[in-house]
Amino acid sequence: MSIPSVSGSGHSSDLTIGMAGSGGDGIVSAGESLIAAAASQGYHAIMTKSFGSQIRGGESSCRVRIAVDRIYNPGGVLDVAVALNWEDFLRFGAELPVGPSTVVIYEEKTGVAPDKLPIVGVVPTDVFAVPIAELARKAAGTDMAKNTIVLGLLAGWFDIAPEGIVRGIRKRFAKKSAELVAANEEAFRVGTEYAKSHPLRVPRVLKRPLENTGGKMLLDGNDMCAAAAIFAGCEAFGGYPITPSTEIMQFLTREIWKYGGTVMQAEDEIASIGVAIGSSYAGKKSMTATSGPGMALKTEMLGLATIAELPLVLVNVQRGGPSTGLPTKPEQSDLFQAAYSGHGDVLRPILAPTTVADTFRITVEAFNIAEEYQTPVIILSDQEIGQRKETADPIDTSQFKIIDRLKPTAVELESYNRFRLTESGISPISHPGMAGGNYLASGIEHNEHGDPTGSGALHKLMNEKRFRKLDPLKQRRDLFAVEGDVDADVAMIAWGSVAGVCHEALAIARAAGVRAKLLVPYLIYPIAEEVYDDFFAGVRVGLVVELSHQGQLYRILRSFVDVPRGVRQMTRNGANPFQPREVADELMKLASAPAQVRGAAASAGVTQ
């Protein structure tokens, strides 16, 4: 765990840098160069990026957090803010928060005086108006080198992986021309020299990693999900492009054919899930991916997969809603949709990763659960995890067991009943071409063989079968993580990308003397009542922290579990990220409040 710190010697173990500009300024490219250089030198790092929702142009931003120790979230208030255009920078609001200790670097030609920054209520101690475009033209002959000047400034002021940045410049432009490599190297040198000739009031050099083991893996959540799908045995993907999930289909399009798999980009969202369900019926491990609006269109076909008891993995990389909503911003507001948007009585497992790294494990688990229980499984990722880049250690794939669907034996095929009413609820599944394995798979209720029925008695038995088979899943305690003081009476629950924020908030609260604990569910639904009952035992006060307006997990929990009166929700709408310090402050305030105040707060909740 790493909490931002700057020692008296001027060395920092953790830096968070936020940058914004117009489309074409190369801000995101600069961030990617920065995190790649940091990863190559053994740092832990996370990069998030955000864009306007325009199809072309518009504002873009990124934030890069680099640390000596492991980190779990993109950080809070910026240590460094870079604005190539103030209008664009301010559009990102809470995504790029500036504080008194933030070093502000901005384009001089914006005409803003250093003592007149358009940041309300904040007076940073270090402000630099830099002629970034002018330096780029002098060094490289073009404004397009502005992002390389920015990299030089950051390396000069903070000593952030300068060797790695230079290697990255050479690699990035090597295929274009030697002149372009030389021009960008010169731009980087000019930026570095400018910084050194305009020193910070207090040096903030980034410490070097204690051990550089040759670098770390660097990839985003969507790529990690796609790679895990291939490892889990996915052979068929039906997709349709939609922000922010499209990279999953793009990765699989490039890679899955090498392993005997197929990708079909369908004409729409409905057809894409139809491809995946049809492939599953044919005996192939199958997957589709989308976001909220596409999930809405796929819902009816999810019902078909449920009643036909076909394995399927559906990834929803959540964005702000409803309708088109916030296509390029994260939110956790599709949980109700995932759990409840089926007509009839359906129960679909829902899993959620918390980092890029654990997206691999969660994706493999989703395929295993889908295959073992013959059910559609939903992975609720979100825009932050799906599109953020993160360093990760190499994955030990030997720790994973791959599960395949239960197939009928030769004896069972002599008189095959696809939907046989077994004690476990799981019945062997055949596929077309399997001798003796013919059966009817349709969206209509059926008897054990698959023949249509209108019998209420059979409908009851089949509903019980479909629910009963998922009971063991709720006993999977390995799909939950508890951190902190396990017998504490102060508690937090957080899922998805917010879990990393709460991990750090817990450390802050405990360092301040508060005995507290955190529950992170990776299995979001069905609700594992015993896990929550054990966690809540003895809990006096607490928070369920979610990036949604309603606090959807909190509301679902209250439908299944006796949530203590002192536990309330802490919610926020998408595009307004939580910061670890504010969550810790809220938890500490709640822990120290008198009983009557706690009760009133629990009833009201907090929405921000």
In DSSP notation, 321-336 reads -STT-BTTS-----HH
DSSP labels, 296-319? HHHHHHHHHHHHTT--EEEEEEE-
Give, as one character, the DSSP assignment of residue 395.
P
Q: What is the CA radius of gyration of the chain?
A: 26
| Sequence-separated (6 or more) residues with CB below 8 Å from residue 456 | none
pLDDT digits (tens, 9 = 90+) for 457-485: 999 999 999 999 999 999 999 999 999 99
Residue 336 has pLDDT above 60, yes or no: yes
**Do residues 273 and 237 make contact, with C-beta atoms less than 8 angstroms apart?**
no
Residue 11's pLDDT band (boundaries 50, 70, 90)?
Answer: confident
pLDDT for the residue numbered 523: 98
Residues in contact with 499: Cβ distance below 8 Å, sequence separation at least 6, in sequence order: 72, 354, 518, 520
Are the folds of 11-206 and 476-607 the same?
no
Q: How far apart are CA 194 and CA 343, in angstroms?
A: 63
pLDDT of residue 1: 35
- Provide the token pair at 509: 């609260």
Q: Give pLDDT tens digits for 365-414.
A: 999 999 999 999 999 999 999 999 999 989 999 999 999 999 999 999 99
d(CA 201, CA 208): 21
User: Per-residue confidence at 57, pLDDT binned at 50, 70, 90?
Assistant: low
Mean pLDDT, all residues of the chain: 93
**What SS3 state is found at 35?**
helix
Average pLDDT over residues 270-283: 98
User: In terms of pLDDT, which residue wins out, 388 or 4?
Assistant: 388
Three-state secondary structure call for residue 45: strand
CA distances from 534 to 229, 283, 484, 525, 580 (A): 33, 40, 15, 17, 26
> What are the tokens at 351?
């899993």
Q: Decide if pLDDT at 595 tops 70.
A: no
Alpha helix positions (H), 469-579 = 498-511, 529-536, 552-560
The amino acid at 301: M
Distance CA(328)–CA(48), nearest Å, equals 11
Question: Strand 98-107 to strand 78-83: parallel, antiparallel, or no bridges (unpaired)?
Answer: parallel
Q: What is the mean pLDDT of residues 209-232?
A: 88
Is the distance from CB of 566 to CB of 350 less than 8 angstroms? no
Query: pLDDT at position 21, please?
Result: 92
Please count the residues of the chain. 608
Phi-psi region of 355 (alpha: psi -120 to 50; beta: other; left: phi over 0): beta
Q: Which two tokens stand for residue 168?
A: 């990255």
Asked if residues 489 and 535 have their Cβ atoms less than 8 Å apart, the reply is no
16 bridge partner residues:
65
Would you place residue 23 in the very low, low, confident or very high pLDDT band (cuts 50, 70, 90)? confident
- At residue 100 the predicted structure's pLDDT band, cuts being 50, 70 and 90, is very high
Asked if 49 and 388 touch (Cβ cutoff 8 Å), the reply is yes
* Closest residue by Cα to residue 517 from 530, 529, 532, 527: 532
Q: Within its chain, how far is the Cα of 355 from the centroid?
A: 6
Contact by Cβ (8 Å): 518, 506 = yes
| Separation CA 314–CA 71 (nearest Å) | 28
Quick: pLDDT tens for 281-321: 999 999 999 999 999 999 999 999 999 999 999 999 999 99
pLDDT at 607 (0 to 100) = 60
Report pLDDT for 56: 64
- Whether a cis peptide bond, with omega within 30° of 0, leads into 526 is yes
Residues 6 or more apart whose Cβ sits within 8 Å of residue 563: 536, 554, 557
Alpha carbon of residue 565 to chain centroid: 30
What single-letter amino acid sits at 503? H
Every domain of the chain and the residues it spans: 11-206, 219-399, 406-473, 476-607
CATH of 219-399, one of 2.60.120.200, 3.30.360.10, 3.20.20.80, 3.40.50.970: 3.40.50.970
Q: What is the rounded CA–CA span in Å between residue 490 and residue 484?
A: 10
Asked if residue 214 has pLDDT above 70, the reply is no
| C-alpha to C-alpha distance for 180 and 169, rounded to whole angstroms | 10
Which class does domain 476-607 fall in? alpha beta
Instruction: Read off the pLDDT of residues 474-519 as tens digits, 9 standing for 90 and up.
Output: 999 999 999 999 999 999 999 999 999 999 999 999 999 999 999 9
Span 11-206 CATH architecture: 3-Layer(aba) Sandwich (3.40)
Query: Has residue 213 got a pLDDT over 70?
Result: no
